[in-house]
Amino acid sequence: MRYGDAKITNALAEITNEFAEITNESAETTNALAEITNAFAEITNEFAEITNESAEITNESTAGIAMIATI
């Protein structure tokens, strides 16, 4: 292998390593975004439960008011 060929091979190896680092960082970012997405899903589910409980309370209150109104 000539000196020029070795320089090209080394440069290509450096580029490959840089791409590997970028790929790893991208994977870390993707995992972090997945965790954030899951956290938002949990919050959304909590809000859904609160909304459902609020609807139940509203329905019970409405039924109670309707019963009082018939007295």
Please spell the DSSP secondary structure of 32-44, one letter per residue. HHHHHHHHHHHHH
Residue 1 scores a pLDDT above 70: no
What tens digit of pLDDT does each residue of 36-57 get?
999 999 999 999 999 999 999 9
What tens digit of pLDDT does each residue of 8-36 get?
999 999 999 999 999 999 999 999 999 99
**Chain position carrying tokens 């390593």:** 17
Q: Would the pTM count as exceeding 0.75?
A: no
DSSP states of 7-60: HHHHHHHHHHHHHHHHHHHHHHHHHHHHHHHHHHHHHHHHHHHHHHHHHHHHHH
